[in-house]
Amino acid sequence: MLVFRNIMIEKSFFAGFGGQGIISLGQIWVYCAMQEGKNVTFFPFYGAEKRGGIARASVIISDEEIASPLVTVPDSALVMNADSLPLCEGILKKDGILLVNSSLVKEDPRRNDVQVVRIDASALAEKLGNIRFANMVALGAMARLTGALTLARIEEILKKFFSPDKHKFVPLNVEAIRSGFAAV
């Protein structure tokens, strides 16, 4: 995160495979930021495959207007699967934060000029009852590591984000986010 004259700007990159909820994570990340009064950009990218193809999202959160929506050198990157490690490692800025889902990424990053944080996101989500919440575990960890989101009103925000028929999943999402926040 870059802080210049008390102006915060966080450029993040999330990567994994289709079905891991990378795009949803990005959408919820920026929605939370908007609800916290910040400016955002969100660029999803995914392969043509229905599941299992590449899934990526680049996001910017800022206290001020965002001059360019492109994230070419992120401050932080989330690696949810092994195939995404080389890409994230290659674009992350020096001294950036590399959050790695150690459940699926067994290889160590090659760079030693970044802060590597491992979280067993998939296993933590399984403990909560559903591996599909690994993305929300990662969201909580990213929020804590970057300081870009406070998550103080996360339950209220998720109830606004999800349609009423999905409100039954809000408590598990909140629990997953808090689990990730506490794990790093």
The dihedrals phi and psi of 159, each to the nearest 5 degrees, come to: -65, -30
pTM metric for this prediction: 0.92
Exposure string over 61-94, b if 16+ CB within 10 A, otherwise e: bbeeeeeeeebeebbbbbbbbeebbeebbebbbe
**Average pLDDT rounded to a whole number, residues 127-137:** 95
Mean of the per-residue pLDDT values for the chain? 93
Name the percent of the chain lying above pLDDT 90.
88
Report which of 130, 142, 150 is spatially closest to residue 183, judged by C-alpha positions: 142
Closest C-alpha among 176, 183, 184, 182 to residue 125:
176
Say yes or no to pLDDT of 5 above 90.
no
**Whose structure tokens read 């889902």?**
101
Which has more confidence, 18 or 114?
114
pLDDT on residue 2:
58
15, β-bridge pairs: 56, 79
Residue with structure tokens 């559903």?
130
What are 41-86's pLDDT values in tens digits? 999 998 766 666 889 999 999 999 999 989 999 999 999 999 999 9
* Per-residue pLDDT band at 101 (split at 50, 70, 90): very high
Whether residue 110 has pLDDT greater than 90: yes
pLDDT tens column, 143-164: 999 999 999 999 999 999 999 9
Q: What is the pLDDT of residue 93?
A: 98
pLDDT, position 132: 93
pLDDT of residue 4 exceeding 60: no
